[in-house]
């Protein structure tokens, strides 16, 4: 029954995902490559062509899998991902366990937008030589899989609560099913923040003092006042945020107090989501942002304007991976981190063993090492700058003042590990469901835009949103 339920959900769920954990490699880019690619495809889909032409183009654009290792080998252990993030971890693993070097087969499907479709086709086919023994899972859709019987629990692998005791609780919850059984284990922690460009803050807000900026960003009312101040002081050349879309993860991943549907499967909209819609409209009506959408080229370009002769955004929503991978050189040594009005999270990647995993001992070794071993997780930080999902490792990183290969620094004496070390504890993911990725990334943002830009009144935008959720998930009801 669980496989039938998941199969229905897999067929209905859209595969656009902009919640990736961050960029691969060691060089900073303006945004993670997979996400930029997806945003571009989304824009092209919206702007031109019929649905049939778009579908055909999308099918033609699906890349071939990049496979390293020999999947036909008798002892092959297959790991699936959508980018190269895990390659760094794999290198550390084979250095620690040389016996794995010739066994691990890494499949990079070529982008997070294709990942679910490709891997879903294999989950009912354990005889396929590319059947995953280990899957990487983004936070945006991890619940879709952990609520199925396609994955083994950590307990099945011999990984105990004592092993995961140093993980951030919200990540444990994200990787657990409705009964509290953990099936996915994260190597990253991704608590959210607001990132402020220090030079623009000094120019248009009159301060670079973190405490003063914290106060300015402590409530939605004070943020609105700051947006007005920046807009007026810069003559509209600088806006506080690039677009109202920048605020969506704060609201959707932090402000909600009820889920998208109730115990009777009736679709509902949290009061905080109405507040987000109203807030976005106010920002739009007062021209307090540039009205960009996240991951668009115009959104990215506003990171580097001077705020006088060229347009610039003073602040962006962030999290650890975004800060050290996705901010540009303009922000290096020029970034101040502050809290948003509510605690939230953004992204993250979990590891999970499949139900027909060919070698559960190897799966357990990899998951325990990459997500539970403080020493190894410290080496991950040193290798790629990841803010790891292990509080003991983070404590050591801070105390030893360890440096990763990422050279990105903050303004003044702020430290990325130290700032985020206390932020993850306040994150609540109890409302996350298997349908959240599509609702949060596509359906609800469309309703926000329709209302903010005046295309729909509030009641119509909400009604259209509920109808779109029902159309996507027919088992969810509109009343």
Q: What pLDDT digit, counting tens, does each position of 108-158 carry?
A: 999 988 899 999 999 999 999 999 999 999 999 999 999 999 999 999 999
Tell me which residue range forms the domain holding 94: 2-190+346-414
Residue 32: its pLDDT value, please? 34
Number of domains in the chain: 2
- The reply to whether 457 falls in a domain is yes
* Residue 423 falls inside a structural domain: no
Q: Are residues 168 and 233 in the same domain?
A: no
pLDDT (tens digit per residue) in 39-87: 333 333 333 334 344 444 345 578 999 999 999 999 999 999 999 999 9
**Please, are residues 196 and 166 in contact by the beta-carbon 8 Å criterion?**
no
Q: Has residue 252 been placed in a domain?
A: yes
Nearest Cα to Cα of residue 417 among 340, 321, 348: 321
pLDDT of residue 19: 41
Is there a single domain that holds both residue 198 and residue 174?
no
In a domain, 479, yes or no: no
Digit-by-digit pLDDT tens for the chain (479 residues) are: 444 344 444 434 433 333 433 333 333 333 333 333 333 333 333 333 343 444 443 455 789 999 999 999 999 999 999 999 999 999 999 999 999 999 999 999 999 888 999 999 999 999 999 999 999 999 999 999 999 999 999 999 999 999 999 999 999 999 999 999 999 999 999 999 999 999 999 999 999 999 999 999 999 999 999 999 999 999 999 999 999 999 999 999 999 999 999 999 999 999 999 999 999 999 999 999 999 999 999 999 999 999 999 999 999 999 999 999 999 999 999 999 999 999 999 999 999 999 999 999 999 999 999 999 999 999 999 999 999 999 999 999 999 998 877 789 999 999 999 999 999 888 999 999 999 999 999 999 999 999 999 999 999 999 999 999 999 999 999 99
CB atoms near residue 165 (< 10 Å): 12
Residues 169 and 281 in one domain: no
Which pLDDT value is given to residue 60?
57
Q: Residue 108: inside a domain, yes or no?
A: yes
377 with 326, same domain: the answer is no
Contact status, residue 269 vs residue 462, Cβ threshold 8 Å: yes
Are 113 and 80 in a shared domain? yes
pLDDT at 18: 39
23 and 36 both lie in a single domain: yes
Same domain, 50 and 160: yes
Indicate the residue among 390, 414, 438 that finishes a domain. 414
Q: Is residue 420 a part of any domain in this protein?
A: no
Q: Counting Cβ atoms within 10 Å, is residue 244 exposed (0-12), middle (13-18) or buried (19+)? A: buried
Say yes or no: 10 and 102 in one domain.
yes
Do 316 and 464 have their domain in common? yes
Task: Express each pLDDT in 450-470 by its tens digit.
Answer: 999 999 999 999 999 999 999
Q: What is the pLDDT of residue 163?
A: 98
Indicate which CATH number applies to the domain containing 460: 3.40.190.10
Select from 386, 414, 442 the last residue of a domain. Answer: 414
Does residue 419 form part of some domain?
no
CB 256 within 8 A of CB 343: no
- What is the reported pLDDT for 404? 76
Q: Identify whether residues 452 and 393 lie together within a single domain.
A: no
The reply to whether 183 and 250 lie within a common domain is: no
Query: Is position 378 within any domain?
Result: yes
How far apart, in whole angstroms, are the C-alpha atoms of residue 28 and residue 463? Answer: 42
Do 38 and 177 belong to one domain? yes
Whole-angstrom Cα distance, residue 274 to residue 407? 40
């Amino acid at each position: 029954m669980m496989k039938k339920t998941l199969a229905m959900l897999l067929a209905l769920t859209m595969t656009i995902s902009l919640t990736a954990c961050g960029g691969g490699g060691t060089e900073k880019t303006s945004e993670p490559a997979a996400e930029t690619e997806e945003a571009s495809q989304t824009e092209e889909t919206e702007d031109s062509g019929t649905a049939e032409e778009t579908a055909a183009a999308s099918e033609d654009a699906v890349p071939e899998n990049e496979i390293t290792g020999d999947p036909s080998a008798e002892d092959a252990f297959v790991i699936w991902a959508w980018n190269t993030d895990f390659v760094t971890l794999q290198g550390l693993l084979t250095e620690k366990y040389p016996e794995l070097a010739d066994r691990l087969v890494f499949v990079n499907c070529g982008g997070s937008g294709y990942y679910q479709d490709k891997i879903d086709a294999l989950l009912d086919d354990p005889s396929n030589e590319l059947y995953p023994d280990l899957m990487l899972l983004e936070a945006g859709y991890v619940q879709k899989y952990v609520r199925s019987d396609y994955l083994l629990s950590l307990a099945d692998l011999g990984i105990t609560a004592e092993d995961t005791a140093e993980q951030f609780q919200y990540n444990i919850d994200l990787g657990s099913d409705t009964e509290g059984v953990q099936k996915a284990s994260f190597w990253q922690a991704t608590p959210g923040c607001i990132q402020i460009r220090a030079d623009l803050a000094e120019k248009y807000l009159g301060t670079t003092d973190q405490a003063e900026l914290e106060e300015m960003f402590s409530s939605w009312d004070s943020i609105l006042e700051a947006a007005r101040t920046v807009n007026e002081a810069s003559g509209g050349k600088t806006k506080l945020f690039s677009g109202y879309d920048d605020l969506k993860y704060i609201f959707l991943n932090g402000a909600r107090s009820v889920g998208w549907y109730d115990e009777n499967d009736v679709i509902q909209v949290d009061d905080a989501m109405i507040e987000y819609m109203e807030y976005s409209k106010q920002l739009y009506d007062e021209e307090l942002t540039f009205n960009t959408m996240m991951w668009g080229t115009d959104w990215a370009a506003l990171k580097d304007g001077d705020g006088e002769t060229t347009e610039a955004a003073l602040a962006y929503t962030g999290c650890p991976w975004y800060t050290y991978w996705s901010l540009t050189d303009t922000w290096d040594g020029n970034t101040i981190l502050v809290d948003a009005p509510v605690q939230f999270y953004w992204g993250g990647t979990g590891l999970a063993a499949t139900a027909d995993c060919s070698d559960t001992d190897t799966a357990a070794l990899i998951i325990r090492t990459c997500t539970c071993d403080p020493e190894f997780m410290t080496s991950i930080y040193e290798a790629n700058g990841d803010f790891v999902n292990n509080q003991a490792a983070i404590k050591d990183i801070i105390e030893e003042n360890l440096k990763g290969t990422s050279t990105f620094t903050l303004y003044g004496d702020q430290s990325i590990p130290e700032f985020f070390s206390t932020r993850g504890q306040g994150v609540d993911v109890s409302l996350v469901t298997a349908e959240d990725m599509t609702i949060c990334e596509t359906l609800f943002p469309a309703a926000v835009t329709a209302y903010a830009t005046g295309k729909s009144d509030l009641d119509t935008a909400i009604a259209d949103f509920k109808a779109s959720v029902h159309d996507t998930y027919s088992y969810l009801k509109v009343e």
